[in-house]
């Protein structure tokens, strides 16, 4: 009858805990692991935890090797590839240092000795008519053959063309293992840069594409709708040139840039209070994740105009939903607009989506029985109350 006496001893303890719950409004948080939605391996670049595709490391050092190429029809006129290395670095590495709060070091070795001449013309690689995976592989293997020298063991191979190569129109990431034509393993992934970086994005194109090497999805729609449809300019995996390009707190948590104690998890019905500090500065609580079910969650985070988001045109509490069931390019993350029909700012309806203390200060996600209320500012921080039924 030992267990009976054990139960007898446990019961008053439970009563005490219940009593504490009743009198202390900020209830103990659910175990944060309840909010770590597990990735669906059958969903391409599923936005959950533990997605596996030989992803490049997101904490510690991500090592890369950079080579430079040109073409007989679009040959280099730069005095040296150093100009192009300096186009990307150190700014892209600094960006990761700040976005990751020092957790990720992007370490790039660049062979700037010369441009290596590709065996085929730039136009023949078919960028302008839409590259297939096979054509992409051929481009990478041609570059490796042209380079013809040993490449140190690295996570990612960067192939940078001359600025003259306008036919290499955009900058896709090859997500399969990178091998030479003879099968020799080279790297986990390759980013083949294109003219879009020079024309429009600057070094941030490297941060977008390297995000893919770490298995982050694209947050813009693949179906031809406006780039900002799902998330506006709130993360550079959606819009590289957006006003608030820092990665979502959800992804920073997934990547290991936020520790578990920097995220509050709401997985049960009730009313809870949370003090959140701006995403762009190191330290403090960065997000509340409200678990809806095993595949969907609502996230609240503070966006300010500090750090990497100095160009943002609205600040406050940003709300978005995450689904692990929606693949890259179909809206795995969707920002909830506090001010629909406002016209937005800086060219996108969603760019002023935030809740603020003085403006629209609450949002009810009716289908999910969740209400988010911005109560006050405490310095740069915000207090939010979550009511979940
Ligand atoms: C390529 O470089 C040459 C100089 O070698 C320059 O005159 C020319 O305008 C450039 N071509 C393109 C397409 O940018
Ligand atoms: C890629 O390489 C990794 C590690 O070498 C291996 O585990 C994985 O199976 C490879 N993937 C493919 C598609 O070959
Ligand atoms: C693209 O997909 C989104 C989400 O499903 C949808 O709202 C939008 O209308 C689609 N656009 C086009 C052009 O089909
Ligand atoms: C999880 O929630 C989403 C959004 O409401 C819904 O579409 C999906 O069916 C739910 N999944 C389960 C297993 O209930
Ligand atoms: Zn992309």
Which of 164, 166, 195 for a ligand 1 pocket mutation test, highest count of atoms within 8 Å of Cβ? 164
Integer distance in angstroms from the first to the last C-alpha of the chain? 40
Name every residue whose Cβ is closer than 8 Å to that of residue 126 and which is 6 or more positions away in sequence. Answer: 132, 135
**Atom 14 in ligand 1: residue holding the nearest Cα:** 164
**Atom 12 in ligand 1: residue holding the nearest Cα:** 164
Do 226 and 344 contact (CB within 8 A), yes or no? no
Q: Specify the 3-state DSSP secondary structure of 71.
A: coil
Q: Specify the 3-state DSSP secondary structure of 123.
A: helix
Task: Please choose, from the candidates 127, 183, 128, the residue with its C-alpha nearest in 3D space to the C-alpha of residue 159.
Answer: 127
- Domain boundaries in the chain? 32-44+228-245+258-388, 60-213
Which of 290, 293, 333 for a ligand 4 pocket mutation test, highest count of atoms within 8 Å of Cβ? 293
Task: Please choose, from the candidates 333, 334, 381, 384, the residue with its C-alpha nearest in 3D space to the C-alpha of residue 355.
Answer: 384
Distance CA 215, CA 241 (A): 20
Distance CA 88, CA 94 (A): 10
Distance CA 282, CA 167 (A): 41
The pLDDT assigned to 10 comes to 34
Instruction: Provide the H-helix boundaries in 188-330.
Output: 195-196, 204-213, 249-255
The pLDDT assigned to 140 comes to 98
pLDDT along the chain (389 residues), means of 10: 32 32 45 96 98 98 98 98 98 98 98 98 92 96 97 97 98 97 97 98 98 98 97 98 98 98 97 98 98 98 98 98 98 97 96 97 96 97 97
Which of 291, 295, 369 for a ligand 4 pocket mutation test, highest count of atoms within 8 Å of Cβ? 295
Q: Is 283 exposed, middle or buried (0-12, 13-18, 19+ CB in 10 A)?
A: exposed
Distance CA 139, CA 133 (A): 10
Q: Which ligand is nearest to the CA of 205?
A: 5
List phi, psi (to 5°) of 317. Answer: -90, 120
Architecture of domain 60-213: 3-Layer(aba) Sandwich (3.40)
Name every residue whose Cβ is closer than 8 Å to that of residue 273 and which is 6 or more positions away in sequence. Answer: 25, 26, 375, 383, 384, 385, 386
Check if 221 has its Cβ closer than 6 Å to any atom of ligand 3: yes
Closest ligand 4 atom, CA of 293? Answer: 1
Q: How far is the CA of 196 from the centre of ligand 1 (A)?
A: 17
Cα 200 to Cα 50, 190, 329, distances in angstroms: 33, 21, 21
Q: Specify the 3-state DSSP secondary structure of 74.
A: coil
Give, as one character, the DSSP assignment of residue 64: E
| DSSP one-letter string for 23-39 | H-SSPPPPPGGGG-PBP
Q: How far is the CA of 210 from the centre of ligand 1 (A)?
A: 29
Distance CA 275, CA 310 (A): 22
Do 193 and 212 contact (CB within 8 A), yes or no? no
Task: Please choose, from the candidates 246, 298, 218, 185, the residue with its C-alpha nearest in 3D space to the C-alpha of residue 46.
Answer: 218
Do 203 and 176 contact (CB within 8 A), yes or no? no
The pLDDT assigned to 242 comes to 97
Residues 117, 123, 125, 129, Cα dihedral to 10° = 160
Residues facing residue 355 across a β-bridge = 317
Distance CA 307, CA 8 (A): 55
């Amino acid at each position: 009858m030992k267990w009976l006496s054990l139960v007898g001893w446990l019961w008053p303890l439970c009563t005490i805990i219940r009593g504490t719950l009743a009198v202390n409004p900020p209830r103990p948080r659910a175990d944060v692991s309840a909010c770590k939605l597990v990735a669906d391996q059958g969903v391409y670049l599923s936005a959950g935890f533990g997605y596996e595709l030989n992803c490049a490391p997101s904490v510690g050092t991500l090592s890369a090797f950079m080579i430079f190429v040109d073409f007989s029809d679009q040959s280099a006129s730069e005095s040296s590839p150093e100009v192009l290395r300096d186009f990307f670095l150190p700014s892209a590495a600094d960006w990761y240092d700040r976005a990751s709060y020092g957790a990720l070091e992007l370490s790039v070795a660049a062979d700037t000795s010369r441009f290596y001449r590709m065996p085929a013309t730039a136009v023949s690689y078919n960028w302008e008519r839409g590259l297939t995976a096979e054509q992409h592989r051929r481009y990478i293997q041609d570059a490796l053959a042209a380079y013809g020298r040993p490449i140190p063991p690295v996570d990612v191979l960067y192939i940078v063309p001359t600025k003259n190569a306008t036919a290499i129109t955009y900058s896709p990431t090859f997500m399969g293992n990178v091998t030479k034509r003879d099968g020799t393993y080279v790297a986990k992934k390759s980013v083949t840069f294109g003219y879009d970086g020079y024309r429009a994005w600057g070094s941030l194109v490297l941060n977008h594409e390297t995000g893919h090497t770490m298995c982050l999805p694209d947050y813009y729609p693949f179906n031809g709708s406006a780039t900002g449809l799902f998330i506006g300019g709130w993360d550079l995996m959606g819009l590289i040139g957006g006003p608030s390009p820092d990665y979502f707190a959800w992804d920073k948590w997934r990547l290991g840039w936020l520790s578990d104690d920097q995220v509050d998890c709401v997985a049960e019905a009730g009313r809870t209070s949370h003090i959140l500090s701006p995403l762009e500065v190191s330290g403090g609580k960065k997000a509340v994740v409200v678990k809806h079910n095993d595949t969907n969650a609502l996230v609240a985070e503070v966006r300010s105009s500090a750090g990497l988001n100095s160009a943002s045109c609205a600040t406050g509490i940003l709300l978005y939903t995450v689904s692990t069931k929606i693949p890259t390019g179909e809206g795995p993350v969707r920002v909830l607009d506090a001010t629909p029909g406002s016209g937005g700012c800086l060219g996108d309806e969603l760019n002023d989506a935030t809740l603020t203390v003085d403006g629209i200060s609450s949002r009810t996600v009716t289908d999910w029985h969740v209400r988010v209320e911005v109560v006050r500012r405490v310095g740069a921080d915000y207090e939010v109350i979550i009511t979940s039924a």
